[in-house]
Amino acid sequence: MLIFYISRLRYICIRNVACRYSSCLLCIFQEAALEVLKSANPDGRFWLKLDGTDVKACLMESVKGVWNGDVDLGDGKLQQLRSEYENRLQVFKVLSKSGSRNALEDTLRGRLDELNADKGFLLNGLSIAIEDYRKKFNSTNTSEEALKNANWEVVEYQTLIQQAQSILATLETVLATLNPTTCTNRIFQRARVTLKDLKIELYLKNLFKKKRTSASHVLVFMLSDEKRARKPYALPVRYIPYRTLRDQYIRDFSRDIKLKMKEKGLKLVGRYACHTLIKQHSYSKGIP
């Protein structure tokens, strides 16, 4: 059903060349959809409907570095995590290009603090993963697939801890050679070469994969003509990927849509708001 909604949204976008939907469909409100409805039925009245579906939880990163599969409630947490990831990656990329010993030394000290924080995060995650594996191993109802996934989670945390310790040891060794009393230009250049050979990209990618939260459901907000007499019958205007969602979030998201509709001069149908907490994977309701 969700694939149909997304396909329908792209189809309308192609048919309406003047309309420009946001490149990020998830969580961002598509104001251009209101323009489509306004032009198709300027005097119409519309229901605000919700439809939810469960999706396979999976975190991915494309070749171009685009994240997919994350929970995004529009609170900026995902963007903040993404910004941290890009900043750390960029710092390591230019680390080997430092022009002076002082600049390199200061940057390395900051990276040591980050790696020590990573170790604490990974050790805590490892303890949780081990406990989860033990519970599933001792349970008679655990499937082989679930047990295998829990085991892989433990292995991944152990591997990341080893990588963090290895990178930390390398940076500490390089930092020790940057002693101002003994550091020569040759030593400084050798330190830059050592830092250039660090395989930090894969480590950071897998580290932040543990910090990200995969979405297990997608909530779709749609606007539907009251009489369903004109196309599009139900146009998606917002997608919310989530794992757990309180009913307060639904009220906040729907309120934003209603305010945008009011700005565009679109009439809303209905008097009763949806105050029910999401308890099902798939449902459809009309709310004012």
pLDDT by residue for the chain (288 residues), tens digit each? 444 444 444 444 434 333 333 434 445 567 777 777 777 777 878 888 888 888 888 888 888 888 988 998 888 899 999 999 999 988 888 877 777 878 888 888 888 999 999 999 999 999 999 999 999 999 989 899 999 999 999 999 999 999 999 999 999 988 888 887 787 888 888 888 888 888 888 999 999 999 999 999 888 888 887 877 666 677 788 888 998 888 888 888 888 888 888 888 888 886 543 433 333 333 333 343
Same structural domain for residues 128 and 221?
Answer: no
Same structural domain for residues 120 and 159?
Answer: yes
pLDDT on residue 162: 96
Same structural domain for residues 114 and 207?
Answer: yes
Same structural domain for residues 105 and 186?
Answer: yes
β-pair partners for 68? 60
Same structural domain for residues 182 and 225?
Answer: no
For residue 114, CA distances in Å to 175, 207, 213, 281 come to 15, 12, 21, 39
Where in the sequence is the domain holding 232, given as residue range(s)? 2-57+215-287
Instruction: Write the burial class of residue 169 (CB in 10 Å: 0-12 exposed, 13-18 middle, 19+ buried).
Output: exposed
What is Dmax (Cα atoms) for the chain?
A: 82
Residue 240, both tokens: 């919310």
Pick from 184, 211, 238: which residue ends a domain? 211
Exposure of 215 in the CB half-sphere (CA atoms within 13 A): 24
In a domain, 152, yes or no: yes
Same structural domain for residues 53 and 153?
Answer: no
In a domain, 67, yes or no: no
In a domain, 260, yes or no: yes
Number of domains making up the chain: 2
In a domain, 180, yes or no: yes
Same structural domain for residues 112 and 180?
Answer: yes
pLDDT on residue 96: 75
pTM of the model: 0.75
Pick from 211, 227, 250: which residue ends a domain? 211
* 3-state secondary structure at position 17: coil
pLDDT on residue 116: 93
Q: What share of the chain is helix, strand, coil (3-state, %, to 5)?
A: 55, 15, 30
Pick from 187, 211, 235: which residue ends a domain? 211
Same structural domain for residues 137 and 219?
Answer: no
pLDDT on residue 132: 94
The torsion angles phi and psi of 285, rounded to 5 degrees, stand at -140, 155
Residues, the chain = 288
Same structural domain for residues 161 and 230?
Answer: no
Pick from 281, 236, 228: which is nearest to 6 by CA? 236
